[in-house]
Amino acid sequence: MDELDSEIVRLLQADARQSNRELARKLGVAPSTCLERVRALTRRGVIRGYHAAIDPAALNRGVQAMVSVQVRPLSRTVIDTFQDSVSRLPEVVSVFVLAGGDDFLLHVAVQDLDHLHAFLLDRLSKRREITGFRTSVIFQQVQNPILSRLPDPAP
């Protein structure tokens, strides 16, 4: 990725709905150049899709938390089954499979603290493979589109 590719990624992360013509104008390049660069970034897998940013509070999901989970036995079957089943729960925003002391990190969004408590008791504590979990409530979230500013990996 060169500087132009990085700037394309940065601008699309800020507003993926802008037209190719508008993107090209901001970059100071011809629309055809911009379109070809965006297509190349997509072909290379740098751009994987375009998504709407949703405000969880507007969907009555004003409380978010990160839940660290430990499961046993550590086997591919247990990990795959747990990952698949929790990713389908409506409260779960993201599932991260980890190395280290915790096996999973779940990002959850719920209506309020009572619903978070119910999720932990009714959805997680009853699962036999879970040996422990810790919950951290999120007060604020600030996103940094750092991926558009990473240097190219060394060849």
**Where along the chain do its domains lie?**
3-52, 56-138
Looking at the chain, the whole-number percentage of residues with pLDDT higher than 70 is: 93
The percent of residues above 90 in pLDDT, for the chain, comes to 82
Give the per-residue SS3 of the chain.
Answer: CCHHHHHHHHHHHHCCCCCHHHHHHHHCCCHHHHHHHHHHHHHCCCCCCCCCCCCHHHHCCCEEEEEEEEECCCCHHHHHHHHHHHHCCCCEEEEEECCCCCCEEEEEEECCHHHHHHHHHHHHCCCCCEEEEEEEEECCCCCCCHHHHCCCCCC
Quick: pLDDT tens for 38-67. Answer: 999 999 999 999 988 888 889 999 999 999
pLDDT number for residue 151: 56
What's residue 143's pLDDT? 79
Angle CA 85–51–68, to nearest 5: 35
How far apart CA 38 and CA 30 sit, in angstroms, is 12
- The answer to whether the predicted template modeling score (pTM) of the entire model surpasses 0.85 is no
Q: How many CB atoms lie within 10 A of CB 61?
A: 19
Does 3.20.20.100 match the CATH number of domain 56-138?
A: no
Query: What is the chain's mean pLDDT, rounded?
Result: 92
pLDDT band per the 50, 70, 90 thresholds, residue 153: low
Classify domain 3-52 at the CATH class level. Answer: mainly alpha
pLDDT digits (tens, 9 = 90+) for 62-86: 999 999 999 999 999 999 999 999 9
